[in-house]
């Protein structure tokens, strides 16, 4: 048996590794408090589950679904985009439900990347952007997200020959892992750059609803001509705490949507229909749960920010996402500081290097942890800091 060479370039998925380490320590009886994974701890709201249970009893939902999703779901997605962003989409041509947005993010490279083609990816960034590119035989080219530039890419620093060779450009705001946000003027700049170099834009908007203090992030689809040049990936995962049900969507350019549909219809058989009905219920039902979730996350954010300041870990206060991107102290790498926190405080975080080389020097805390565990984590961080730590080689 021989594993295909393309897998040689594919590292184990970041969280598979982290989860395994945490499981090993827990198996030894250690009480690890994990701030590592971005997976909402609060349950899916009851009214959404009700839609799913009701649909699960209907035998018409027991058969293979269509890859294109229920027409009613595509319509509900289009309505949601219009209500939330004022964006008008054709539900039959410009909307495609996904088995979670990660699925579409991974597959879209197959539509646009020929072997040797370049995809511009944010660094640090969500790992499936570069990995999808690699699986399609392409080369990810990192666009550094520097703190000095508010974690936005600097298009002018991308060499002309790279931009001309690139086929896709990935963007993601509100951003994982940095928690940074982008406004419409940035999306206009990105679109201008994409038009200059004939690039297709893929914007990942998974976190637009996870926000604090009334901040309302824009959609890439709001800029004029967005549907000429790109698609946006969105998800019910973070908006409605539905990560386990696996449902998301791509919206935008009809040609890109059709290409993605062609790949998907050959590989998957759509989203279980009871889950599609739950999504329709979520998108059309009361949106109060979003503000309720965000109020809880905001309290957690503020508590964690206070202790990070106290222990000298510098971080910006995020306006959106449930992530805090903190600088590791001088003298440490992201990996050895992560290890130190795990060994000495029983606290798991994600090392920034896992998101690309520009993530070096940072760690990511996720706020998707119960209030009790957060409080315990905070007191552990305080007492660990009080015990003082010794410097290691960076």
Ligand X SMILES: Cc1ncc(COP(=O)(O)O)c(C=O)c1O
**Considering the rule CB under 6 A, would residue 219 count as an interface residue with ligand X?**
no
Beta 139-144 vs 118-123: how paired, if at all? parallel
Location of structure tokens 């798991």: 348
Interaction of residue 100 with ligand X, rule CB under 6 A: yes
Q: Which sign does the torsion angle of CA 349, 353, 354, 359 carry?
A: positive
Cβ neighbours of 392 (radius 10 Å): 12
Q: What distance in Å separates the CA atoms of residue 264 and residue 260, rounded to the nearest whole number?
A: 6
Name the phi and psi angles at 323, rounded to 5. -120, 145
Partners of 96 in the β-ladder: 250
> Could you say which of 74, 89, 91, 102 contacts ligand X (CB under 6 A)?
102
- Give 237 or 294: the residue with its C-beta nearer to ligand X: 237
Place of tokens 């038009």: 195
Window 16 to 75, contacts with ligand X (CB under 6 A): 38
CB of 72 to ligand X, least distance (A): 20
| 3-state percent breakdown (helix, strand, coil) of the chain, nearest 5 | 45, 15, 40
Residue 247 CB, shortest distance to ligand X, in Å, is: 7
Among 94, 123, 139, 204, binds ligand X (CB under 6 A): 204
Closer to ligand X at the Cβ: 36 or 70?
36
Residue (125 or 340) nearer to ligand X, CB? 125
356 binds ligand X (CB under 6 A): no
350 counts as binding ligand X under rule CB under 6 A: no
CB of 237 to ligand X, least distance (A): 3
- Rounded least distance, CB 103 to ligand X, Å: 7
Interface map 168-187 toward ligand X (x if CB under 6 A): ----x---x-----------
Neighbours of 389 (CB within 10 A): 15
**Residue 96 CB, nearest distance to ligand X (Å)?**
13
Q: Which stretch binds ligand X (CB under 6 A): 20-28, 76-84, 99-107, 305-313?
A: 99-107
Is residue 366 near ligand X by the rule CB under 6 A? no
Interface pick for ligand X out of 77, 182, 206, 290 (rule CB under 6 A): 206
Instruction: Supply the Cα-derived Rg of the chain in whole angstroms.
Output: 21
Say if CB 140 and CB 119 are below 8 A apart: yes
Considering only the stretches 20-28, 95-103, 297-305, 328-336, report the one whose residues sit in contact with ligand X under the rule CB under 6 A.
95-103
Interaction with ligand X in 229-258: which residues (CB under 6 A)? 235, 237, 243, 248
Nearest to 289 by CA among 41, 42, 38: 42
Instruction: Count H helices and E strands in the chain, helices first.
Output: 13, 12
User: Cβ(336)–Cβ(324) under 8 Å?
Assistant: no
Distance between CA 392 and CA 333 in Å, rounded? 9
Q: Which residues of 95-109 are buried (b: 16+ CB within 10 A; e: fewer)?
A: bbbbbbbbbbbbbbb
Is the Cβ of residue 65 or residue 179 nearer to ligand X in the bound state? Answer: 179
Q: Which stretch binds ligand X (CB under 6 A): 25-33, 64-72, 98-106, 373-381?
A: 98-106
Judged by CB under 6 A, the residue of 85, 126, 151, 193 near ligand X is 126
**Interaction of residue 324 with ligand X, rule CB under 6 A:** no
What is the total count of residues that contact ligand X (CB under 6 A)? 13
The token duo for 89 is 């989409």
Residue 383 CA: distances (Å) to CA of 97, 288, 340, 380 = 47, 38, 14, 5
Give the interface with ligand X as residue ranges (CB under 6 A): 38, 100-102, 126, 172, 176, 204, 206, 235, 237, 243, 248
């Amino acid at each position: 048996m021989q594993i295909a060479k393309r897998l040689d370039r594919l590292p184990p998925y970041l969280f598979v590794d982290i989860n395994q380490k945490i499981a090993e320590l827990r198996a030894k009886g250690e009480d690890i408090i994990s701030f590592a994974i971005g997976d909402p701890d609060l349950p899916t709201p009851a009214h959404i589950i009700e839609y799913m249970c009701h649909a699960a009893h209907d035998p018409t939902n027991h058969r293979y679904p269509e890859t294109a999703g229920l027409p009613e779901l595509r319509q509900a997605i289009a309505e949601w985009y219009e209500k939330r962003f004022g964006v008008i989409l054709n539900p039959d041509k410009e909307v495609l439900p996904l088995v979670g947005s990660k699925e579409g993010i991974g597959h879209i490279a197959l539509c646009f990347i020929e072997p040797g083609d370049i995809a511009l990816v944010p660094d640090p960034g969500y790992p499936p952007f570069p990995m999808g590119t690699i699986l399609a035989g392409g080369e990810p080219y990192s666009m550094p997200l520097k703190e000095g530039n508010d974690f936005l890419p600097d298009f002018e620093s991308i060499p002309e020959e790279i931009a001309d060779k690139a086929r896709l450009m990935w963007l993601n705001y509100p951003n994982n892992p940095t928690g940074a946000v982008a406004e419409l003027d940035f999306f206009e700049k990105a679109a201008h750059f994409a038009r200059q170099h004939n690039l297709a834009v893929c914007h990942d908007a998974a976190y637009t609803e996870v926000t604090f203090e009334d901040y309302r992030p824009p959609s890439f689809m709001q800029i004029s001509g967005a549907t000429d040049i790109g698609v946006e990936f969105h998800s019910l995962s973070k908006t409605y705490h539905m990560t386990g049900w696996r449902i998301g969507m791509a919206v935008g350019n009809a040609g890109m949507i059709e290409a993605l549909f062609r790949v998907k219809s050959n590989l998957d058989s759509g989203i279980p229909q009871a889950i599609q009905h739950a999504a329709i219920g979520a998108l059309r039902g009361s949106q109060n749960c979003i503000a309720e979730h965000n109020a809880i996350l905001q309290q957690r954010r503020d508590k964690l920010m206070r202790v990070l300041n106290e222990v000298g870990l510098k971080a910006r206060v995020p306006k959106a996402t449930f992530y805090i991107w903190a600088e590791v102290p001088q003298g440490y790498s992201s990996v050895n500081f992560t290890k130190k926190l795990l060994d000495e405080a029983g606290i798991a975080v994600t090392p920034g290097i896992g998101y690309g080389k520009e993530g070096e020097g940072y760690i990511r805390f996720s706020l998707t942890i119960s209030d009790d565990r957060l409080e315990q984590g905070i007191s552990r961080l305080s007492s660990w800091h009080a015990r003082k730590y010794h410097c290691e080689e960076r």
